[in-house]
């Protein structure tokens, strides 16, 4: 069939080829040369169908797969990053909670120590005050005794003085009378 | 450029249309169907091979952290995936392989066409129209398959006064059926015009070169223009592939969600 075509076609072709280029398309404008339409359409259909099948069956699915894999991978990585972020947040939260707890505990311990010290001081103060009060009462007692003793002396001194005065005035004195007089005055 | 040397005298040194001539490399006739393997066919095959190598070799390692080539392939993929999702909706993703193939085919064909001596597959109306027709028929069939008669709502914009409705529906119908034409002519004309312009300025350079010393001075301007136009053509090549694809997405959006 090809041989037949060869025999048929080249004749006209050769004639066309031997013309000078100017005369080659003297019949018109090459894109409007209807003689070439048939073969162009045949080869356009063949080549475009081939391209369509190559693209839709081979090339495009492969590109789509690669792009999809990448998209999935990126989505996964973002998910993972979000998860890590969540973990970090949790860790920070836990840390802050621990810190707050530690702070509260430290405060508590400080308060306790302060209370304990306060209590002890109070206790010591009370003891010292008790001791002091005891000493004071003892001293007061002693003072009272001393005062009493002093008061007793006052009587004898007063009797002596009265006696002496009476002696000076009267030349003689009755000691017991003086004592009576002093006692009456001291009452 | 060899053609320039052959043609002397008053003729333009380069034939700007020669680059669009379809020449059979292996004449073939299968059951009365002309299936000759032409230079156009060759570059279609080159385009398919280039796209396939780009998308498979770039992803060969399938690494989790992509290398340079893999990043390019992935950007290409996500660019089109986003385009489909944004312009046609999530339910259009089942057409993603088709739209990806469409964009890759046009983009690579346009870019390969920028190489000197390469044939620009998309500079032929029959190719762009065939692609646009596939989109048009596909979109229309999808619309009817999904929505039945309700798909006709695509011709009836909501919120239009009843008095204006016949006019608006007529306009919508005309615009709907002119879609494949504008869709295909836009790509075809852009590629064709750009390549012709490059060739014309190249011709100017050659013409000046034959003029001797003064000509060498004079050719600087067209040469500079070629450099600028080449940059522009790369932009156009990418942009037109994008435009073709985004329009496809929009048409698909209409089919999936009729009624504006």
Q: What is the pLDDT of residue A108?
A: 96
For residue range A70-125, list pLDDT tens digits in order: 999 999 999 999 999 999 999 999 999 999 999 999 999 999 999 999 999 999 99
Question: Where do the H-state alpha helices sit in A19-59?
Answer: 21-24, 37-53
The answer, as to whether pTM is greater than 0.80, is: no
Does B11 reside within a domain?
no
Query: Are A67 and B78 a contacting pair at CB < 8 A?
Result: yes
Which chain A positions have a beta carbon within 8 Å of B41's beta carbon? Answer: 39-40, 43, 47
Does B5 reside within a domain?
no
Give me the number of domains chain B comprises: 1
Q: What is the pLDDT of residue B190?
A: 95
Which chain A positions have a beta carbon within 8 Å of B78's beta carbon? Answer: 67
Cα distances (angstroms) measured from residue B215 to each of B4, B32, B98, B103: 16, 53, 51, 43
pLDDT-flagged residues of chain B (< 50): 1-10
Count CB atoms within 10 A of the CB of residue B153.
16
Does B98 reside within a domain?
yes
The whole-angstrom distance between A79's CA and the closest CA on chain B is 18
| Residue from A59, A64, A75 whose CB has the most chain B CBs within 10 Å, to mutate | A59
Query: Are B24 and A13 a contacting pair at CB < 8 A?
Result: yes
| Residue from A21, A32, A72 whose CB has the most chain B CBs within 10 Å, to mutate | A21
Does B9 reside within a domain?
no
Q: What is the pLDDT of residue B260?
A: 57
Spatial CA neighbour of B94 closest among B252, B254, B259: B252
Domain of residue B220: give its range.
24-256
Secondary structure of residue B25 in the 3-state scheme: strand
Q: Is B5 on the interface with A (CB under 8 A)?
A: no
The interface residues of chain B toward chain A in range 101-120, judged by CB-CB distance below 8 A, are: 101, 104-105
The whole-angstrom distance between B158's CA and the closest CA on chain A is 37
Q: What is the pLDDT of residue A5?
A: 42
Instruction: Compare CB distances from A38 to B34, B100, B124 and report the shortest one's residue.
Output: B34
Rounded Cα distance, B36 and B25, in Å: 7
Q: How many CA atoms lie within 13 A of A100 on its CB side?
A: 6
Locate the chain A residue with the closest alpha carbon to B101.
Answer: A52
Does B10 reside within a domain?
no
Does B180 reside within a domain?
yes
Does B100 reside within a domain?
yes
Query: Are A42 and B15 a contacting pair at CB < 8 A?
Result: no
Which chain A positions have a beta carbon within 8 Å of B1's beta carbon? Answer: none
> Does the pLDDT at position A186 exceed 80?
no
At residue A28 the predicted structure's pLDDT band, cuts being 50, 70 and 90, is: confident
Locate the chain B residue with the closest alpha carbon to A60.
Answer: B97
| Mean pLDDT score, A135-144 | 94
Query: Are B22 and A1 a contacting pair at CB < 8 A?
Result: no
């Amino acid at each position: 069939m090809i041989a037949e075509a060869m025999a048929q076609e080249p004749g006209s072709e050769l004639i066309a080829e031997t013309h000078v280029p100017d005369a080659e398309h003297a019949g018109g404008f090459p894109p409007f040369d209807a003689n070439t339409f048939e073969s162009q359409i045949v080869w356009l259909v063949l080549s475009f169908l081939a391209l369509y099948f190559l693209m839709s069956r081979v090339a495009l699915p492969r590109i789509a797969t690669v792009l999809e894999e990448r998209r999935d991978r990126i989505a996964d990585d973002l998910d993972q990053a979000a998860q890590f972020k969540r973990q970090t947040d949790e860790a920070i939260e836990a840390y802050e909670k621990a810190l707050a707890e530690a702070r509260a505990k430290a405060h508590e311990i400080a308060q306790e120590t302060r209370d304990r010290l306060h209590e002890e001081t109070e206790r010591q103060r009370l003891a010292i005050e008790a001791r002091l009060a005891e000493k004071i009462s003892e001293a007061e007692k002693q003072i009272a005794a001393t005062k009493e003793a002093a008061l007793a002396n006052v009587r004898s001194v007063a009797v002596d003085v009265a006696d002496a005065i009476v002696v000076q005035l009267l030349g003689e004195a009755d000691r017991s009378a003086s004592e009576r007089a002093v006692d009456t005055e001291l009452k | 450029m060899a053609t320039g040397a052959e043609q002397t005298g008053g003729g333009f040194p380069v034939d700007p249309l020669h680059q669009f001539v379809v020449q059979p490399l292996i004449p073939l006739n299968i059951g009365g169907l002309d299936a000759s393997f032409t230079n156009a066919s060759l570059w279609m095959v080159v385009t398919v091979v280039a796209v396939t190598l780009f998308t498979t070799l770039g992803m060969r390692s399938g690494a989790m952290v992509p290398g340079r080539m893999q990043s390019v392939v992935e950007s290409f993929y996500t660019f089109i995936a986003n385009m489909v999702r944004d312009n046609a909706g999530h339910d259009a993703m089942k057409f993603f392989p088709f739209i990806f193939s469409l964009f890759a085919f046009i983009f690579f064909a346009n870019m390969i066409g920028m190489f000197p001596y390469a044939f620009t597959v998309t500079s032929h109306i029959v190719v762009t129209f065939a692609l646009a027709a596939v989109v048009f028929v596909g979109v229309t069939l999808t619309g009817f398959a999904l929505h039945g008669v309700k798909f006709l709502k695509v011709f009836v914009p909501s919120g239009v006064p009843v008095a204006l409705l016949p006019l608006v529906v007529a306009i919508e119908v005309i615009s709907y059926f002119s879609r494949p034409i504008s869709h295909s002519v836009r790509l075809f004309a852009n590629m064709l015009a750009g390549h012709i312009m490059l060739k014309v300025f190249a011709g100017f350079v050659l013409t000046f070169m034959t003029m001797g010393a003064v000509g060498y001075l004079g050719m600087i301007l067209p040469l500079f223009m070629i450099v600028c136009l080449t940059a522009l053509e790369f932009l156009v090549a990418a942009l037109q592939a994008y435009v073709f694809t985004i329009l496809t997405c929009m048409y698909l959006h209409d089919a999936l969600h009729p009624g504006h």
